[in-house]
Amino acid sequence: MGRTLTLVRDGCLLRIPLNFPHPRGRPPVASPHVIDVPAALAATQVKYNGEAGRAFVAALPELAAGYLARWELRLDGPSMHGWAALVLPVVRADGTPAALKLQLLDEESEGEPVALRRWDGDGAVRLLDHDPATGTLLLERLDPARTLHHVKDSREAVLVLARLLAGLTATPAPPGLRGLGDIARAMLDRTPWALARIPDPEARRLVADCAAALREVADEPGDRLLHWDLHYENVLASDRAPWLAIDPKPLAGDPGFDLLPALDNRYDPAETRWRFDALTDTLALNRESARAWTLARVLQNLLWNVEDEDPLEQPQLEIAHLLRHA
């Protein structure tokens, strides 16, 4: 891959090829299409990944052109993006709609094709092709205009998400994925440093309680294939199934660690306990273990707040308070 820049972000290793060679070493490909990088994507890449993000953004048009040529793809509409990836709707040579996803190669994106291959389209978007050198994916095309976030009945949306999680986490994690045990130990090691930087005594108590809950389960981290980011906007409609998951950041671990995105997205404190009960019932989880792993996930988010010098997120604190004695 040539010269790379190595950074660490939130415990994840980022390996950025600074020259971003074209797939298979091809020279730039002429294209009638201009691939624009959305300003919001560029801003978040620079904010969170610094020089690596700036290099990634600068290389995106040329990188995309290379994959359009390599995989014989034709652009089929405007680009889409989250904070981490650029997604281009494309059509394959045989006329099949698809989506080209370009992203930084890190520990999260490195595991995405592994998880998608293991699920093989069962409850998740299907992987069509993959370049491990850059983390670029070719995915089946879903309907980005119809996400689970648009389902007005929040309880119906929670139950859909719960059923998806039940199916996805029933799968044993393949070898080589990041393990929840390592992440748990890193969080516990980091907690004293964070506590010393939280001025509010009640917030400190909540963070300490989350860490105490994690200590109760850290020695049994589990071995299921976790999505780790299954919130309502990461569930899209499709023609072959009502709803499918996208954008996994996979881990090997306990399914209880996968519940928080259903609680803190579309957040409603009056619904937190109902949602938690619905999730644990649908996934057939031990309630005490699931409570501990959910508090561990709250701890992870609050540690990130402290590391980024951001205010502690109020919904996280409220969920911790509600679940301490749930």
On whether the CB atoms of residues 101 and 114 are closer than 8 A, the answer is no
Residue found under tokens 């300490």: 208
Q: Are strands 244-245 and 74-75 parallel, antiparallel or unpaired?
A: unpaired
In the predicted model, what is the mean pLDDT of the chain?
A: 90
* Catalytic residue list: 229
Instruction: Give me the pLDDT at residue 5, please.
Output: 36
Instruction: Give me the CATH code for the 146-323 domain, please.
Output: 3.90.1200.10
Specify the pLDDT at position 38.
82
> What's the average model confidence in pLDDT over 162-175?
98
Distance CA 148, CA 154 (A): 9
| Better-scored residue on pLDDT, 11 or 123 | 123
Give residue 40's pLDDT.
87
Q: Which residue has the higher pLDDT, 29 or 312?
A: 312
pLDDT of residue 16: 37
**29-33, 50-54, 62-66, 162-166 — most confident range:** 162-166
How much is the average pLDDT of 135-145?
Answer: 97
Distances 94 to 25, 29, 71, 200, 305 between C-alpha atoms, Å? 25, 21, 11, 60, 47
What's the CA gap between 24 and 131, in Å, rounded?
Answer: 10
Query: What pLDDT is stored for residue 252 in this prediction?
Result: 98
- Higher-confidence residue of 113 and 325: namely 113
| pLDDT class of 23 with cuts at 50, 70, 90 | very low
* Tokens 């050198």 belong to residue: 133
* Rounded CA separation 221/124 (Å): 23
pLDDT at 45: 87
Q: Per mean pLDDT, which range of 38-52, 172-186, 294-308 is the poorest?
A: 38-52
At residue 168, what is the residue type?
Answer: L
How many Cα atoms are found within 13 Å in the side-chain-facing hemisphere of 195? Answer: 17
For the chain, domain boundaries: 4-141, 146-323
Contact 32/23 with Cβ under 8 angstroms? no
User: Residue 13 above 60 pLDDT?
Assistant: no
pLDDT in tens, 258-314: 999 999 999 999 999 999 999 999 999 999 999 999 999 999 999 999 999 999 999
pLDDT at res. 20: 43
The CATH topology of domain 4-141 is Phosphorylase Kinase; domain 1 (3.30.200)
Residue, of 76 and 19, whose pLDDT is higher: 76
Per-residue pLDDT, averaged over 27-51, amounts to 71
pLDDT-above-70 percentage for the chain: 90
Q: Read off the tokens for 139.
A: 């995915």
Tell whether the model's pLDDT for residue 29 goes beyond 90: no
Helix, coil or strand: residue 142: coil
Query: Using 50, 70 and 90 to split pLDDT, how confident is the model at 10?
Result: very low
d(C-alpha 168, C-alpha 245), whole Å: 9
Q: Find the helix packing angle between 201-217 and 314-323, rounded to 10°.
A: 60
pLDDT tens digits, 117-133 = 999 999 999 999 999 99
Q: Give the confidence band of 31 by pLDDT, cuts at 50, 70, 90.
A: very low
**How many CB atoms within 10 Å of residue 3?**
8
pLDDT for residue 34: 61
**Spatial separation of the C-alpha atoms in residues 270 and 228, rounded to whole Å:** 24
Q: What is the CA radius of gyration of the chain?
A: 20
